[in-house]
Structure 1
Amino acid sequence: MLIDFDKSGGLVPAVAQDADTGEVLMLAWMNREAFDETVRTGRAVYFSRSRNRLWRKGEESGNVQEVKGVFVDCDADTVLLKVKQVGGAACHEGYPSCFFRELAGGELKVVGERVFDPKQVYKK
């Protein structure tokens, strides 16, 4: 077994990292089905806890992640995906990285630059 999904209740954290720059883009969750599809297709697939279903990254926004490498930690319960972020934004709020806010002086400050307006992309 590559990943110990049973140890963690069926979901494991999955970190997406830019394959070229090393920037951490996002943290999501994977179940066995998401992991298997990611490996099979070469495109990042996660499990959405809020929607309780598979989330094929970019299925609505077009900002897909092409997987360049899959790494598993020493405990076999965390996945690191090295990806090429197509479309420029990993974050559903339109930023290249979900980590676009920095704690400075006791306040969170936006330090990233938005790539797209989520109101225009997610029209639900």
Structure 2
Amino acid sequence: MSYQLTIYDALPGSDKDHASLPNARSDAKKQAIQRYLNSGKTEPTICVNKYSPGRRSTQYYRLSYLWRGKKKHIHLRGGSTISELANYRALQLQALIDRGAELAEVLAMATNFNGGLSDRPKLDDH
């Protein structure tokens, strides 16, 4: 059976247990890494929600998302929330969001639902 020598075998009186980091140090390192990860920017938030324009009792669907730190909204055409078409479009967009699609893909579908009309920003603009 072959045996590989390590540096600890070559040093007289060395102990392998002293070479490992104490748990407190590794815990502090893990906590520092987690703080760094938590401080980073998250993915754009996208959701389909209902809203009532003005003081009307009728509700409509809209797509809400964050773009460059600002909340943007796109009205989804198809009628109020009691309309079959509006409900279908809202469900299709929500399924796309739940699947984890990119913001550009969701906005493209919303623009397609609205007949190609949208005031959404171009995502390649910096």
Larger helix proportion, structure 1 or 2? 2
Larger strand proportion, structure 1 or 2? 1
What TM-score, normalized to structure 1?
Answer: 0.29
Structure with greater contact order relative to length (CA < 8 Å, sep ≥ 6): 1
